[in-house]
């Protein structure tokens, strides 16, 4: 199974690309077994015009609390990685969103997911849309959330 790397908005104006390294992190954290816990982390990418190129993703650290149906991120470890990427890349790679896994083949955002995304989007200092990804067992759910909380679901590029 391979996740799709290229995604676009319905009007094809915004492209989002996931590097192999990011897809590997997603693949390693799917929840195929009933014992697999929910996972998640930060998405780090380059902003090129309105487009996003995702180059890295953080994944659960020992400090994160994990269970099958919840994932509570303890921010410290992830934030350190994000800051290091930002300074190592001289500011070209930045925090652009977050991902987490669902124990579903075709993941559906929960009400809690939506309210959390809205909050995270409204907190972005650069006012750019927040990239939200849910990793399912079969496919990804990829969505851009504006600072007002409106979500735009992306589709795989043909
Ligand atoms: Zn969720």
Q: What is the pTM of this model?
A: 0.89
Q: In the annotation, is 123 catalytic? A: no
Tally of domains within the chain: 1
Kindly report the CATH number assigned to the domain that includes residue 117: 3.40.140.10
Q: Is residue 64 one of the residues assigned to a domain?
A: yes
Q: How far is the CA of 133 from the centre of ligand 1 (A)?
A: 9
What are the angstrom distances between the C-alpha of 125 and each of 28, 39, 57, 75, 137? Answer: 31, 26, 20, 18, 33
**Each residue's pLDDT expressed in tens, for the chain with a length of 158 residues:** 689 999 999 999 999 999 999 999 999 999 888 888 788 889 999 998 889 999 999 887 666 666 666 666 656 666 777 788 889 999 899 989 999 999 999 999 999 999 999 998 998 877 889 999 999 999 999 999 998 889 999 999 96
**Structural domain of 87:** 6-139
Q: How far is the CA of 100 from the centre of ligand 1 (A)?
A: 6
Yes or no: say if 157 and 6 are a contact pair by the CB < 8 Å rule. yes
Q: Is residue 149 one of the residues assigned to a domain?
A: no
Q: Is residue 133 one of the residues assigned to a domain?
A: yes
Q: Where are the beta strands (DSSP E) in the chain?
A: 6-8, 15-18, 40-48, 51-57, 65-66, 71-72, 93-101, 130-135, 140-145, 151-153, 155-156
Q: Is residue 158 one of the residues assigned to a domain?
A: no
Q: How far is the CA of 83 from the centre of ligand 1 (A)?
A: 25
């Amino acid at each position: 199974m391979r996740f799709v790397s290229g995604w676009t908005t319905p009007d094809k104006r915004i492209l989002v690309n996931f590097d192999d390294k990011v897809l590997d992190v997603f693949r390693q954290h799917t929840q195929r077994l009933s014992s697999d816990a929910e996972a998640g982390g930060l998405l780090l990418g380059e902003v090129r015009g309105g487009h996003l190129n995702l180059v890295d993703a953080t994944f659960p650290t020992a400090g994160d609390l994990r269970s099958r149906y919840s994932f509570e991120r303890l921010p410290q470890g992830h934030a350190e990685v994000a800051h290091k990427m930002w300074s190592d890349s001289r500011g070209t790679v930045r925090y652009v969103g977050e991902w987490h896994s669902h124990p579903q083949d075709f993941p559906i955002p929960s009400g809690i997911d939506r309210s959390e995304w809205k909050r995270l989007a409204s907190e972005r200092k650069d006012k750019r849309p927040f990239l939200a990804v849910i990793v399912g067992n079969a496919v990804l759910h990829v969505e851009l959330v504006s600072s007002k909380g409106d979500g735009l679901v992306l589709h795989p590029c043909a």
